[in-house]
Amino acid sequence: MKFGIVRFPGSCDDVDALLAAQRVGEAVMLWHADSDLQGVDAVIVPGGFSYGDYLRAGAIARFAPMMEEVAEFARDGGLVLGICNGFQVLCEAGLLPGALLPNISLRFVCRQVRLDVMSEYSPFTRACPLGEPLSIPVKHTTGRYYAPEHGLADTQVLLRYAPGENPNGSDRDIAGVCNESGNVFGLMPHPEHAVDPLTGSSDGLAIFESIRAHVADRVVA
């Protein structure tokens, strides 16, 4: 299977995402100004500060030529994972519900947090061990998730901060949500920074494993 990582000017965790994805499959960089998805099976919109996050986090990146391809890929059922800034971009692009607001502390926060997995069936969490919280770091200034009560079904919430772990004041402790069809997923924590016990944790690998397993099943089907 082949991952594609969208690289914007100002992306910071693009190489990290590439290295993490390469632990479970092939991975290539997709340049923001290009329009060729290179036949990837899943797209990752990585963390960082695309276009400096000027105007509003993620607000400019959604207009990149590559993002038009990603939107079409998503409409066709392709798997799209947005991490941190990528989550912000996907919300700005209308591919995910809700918005990310400044942290309640108004400060950047970098911290290892525990996450409860809310679904064992999603293409993004199916490989996560049942009932065990994931230890994954967050690092952001604009990560307080908000969605109107009726704009988001409970089934769309795939990850919540474990009790007492909410680092940013997110609504209902929401850490990650998917779209209604379940093929686009955004989260503030960084699974690509939790793929090796040497650098803190390997719990994030389950997210990449889930994507790989889902794509493999689809190919077989």
Partner 1 sequence: MPTASLPSNHSHRSRHRDLGLTDVEYELILAVLGRHPNDLELAMFSLMWSEHCSYKHSKRLLRRLPTEGPHVLLGPGENAGAVDVGDGLAVAFKVESHNHPSAVEPFQGAATGVGGILRDVFAVGARPIAILDSLRFGEPAASERSRYLLERAVAGIGHYGNSIGVATVGGEIYFDQAYEQNCLINAMCLGLAPHGRLIRSAAVGPGNVLVLLGALTGRDGIGGASVLASAEFGEGDADKRPSVQIGDPFTEKKLLECCLELLEDDLLVSLQDLGAAGLTSASAEMASKGGLGLDLDVGRVPLREPGMEPFEVMVSESQERMLCVVTPDLVPDVIAVCDRWEVLCTEIGAVTDNGRLRVLDGAEVVGDLPVAALVDECPMYNLEPEAPIVSLYPSPAPVLGGGETPAEVLLALLGSPNLASRRPVFEQYDCIVGSRTVRRPDAADAAVLELPGGAALAISIDGNGRRVACDPRAGAAEAVYECSANLACVGAEPLGLTNCLNFGNPEKPHVAWQLVEAVEGLARACEALGVPVVGGNVSLYNEAPTGPILPTPVVGMVGRLPDASRAGQIGFTNDGDAIALVGPFAPSLTGSELAKLRGAAPAGDLPVMEPGAVREAHATVRDAVCAGALSSAHDIAEGGLAVALAECCVAGGIGARLKVRIDDWVRELFGEAPGCAFVVSGAEEVLGPLGRVIGRVGGDTLVIPGALEVAVSELRAVRDNGLLQYASSAVWSE
Select from 27, 57, 20 the least CA-distant residue to 204: 20
Kindly state the smallest distance separating residue 63's Cβ from partner 1, in Å: 14
Catalytic residue from among 32, 69, 140, 190? 190
Enumerate the β-bridge partners of residue 178: 185
Kindly state the smallest distance separating residue 103's Cβ from partner 1, in Å: 11
Alpha helices in 93-204 (DSSP H): none
**Residues in CB range of 4: below 8 A, 6 or more apart:** 27, 28, 29, 30, 37, 38, 40, 42, 43, 44
Catalytic residue from among 84, 91, 128, 178? 84
Known catalytic residue at 190: yes
Known catalytic residue at 12: no
Catalytic residue from among 32, 91, 192, 214? 192
Kindly state the smallest distance separating residue 137's Cβ from partner 1, in Å: 6
φ, ψ for residue 38 (rounded to 5)?
55, 30
Residues forming contacts to partner 1 in the complex (CB under 8 A) are: 9-13, 15-16, 19-20, 48-49, 51-54, 105-111, 137, 139, 141, 190, 192-193, 195-196, 198-200
Known catalytic residue at 140: no
Of the pair 116, 192, the CB lying nearest partner 1 is at 192
Measured distance CA(86)–CA(62) in Å, rounded? 10
Kindly state the smallest distance separating residue 196's Cβ from partner 1, in Å: 8
Of the pair 57, 74, the CB lying nearest partner 1 is at 57
CB 162 within 8 A of CB 116: yes
Of the pair 15, 71, the CB lying nearest partner 1 is at 15
Of the pair 63, 217, the CB lying nearest partner 1 is at 63
Enumerate the β-bridge partners of residue 187: 83, 176
How many CA within 13 A on the CB side of residue 194? 24
Q: Which residues are catalytic?
A: 84, 190, 192
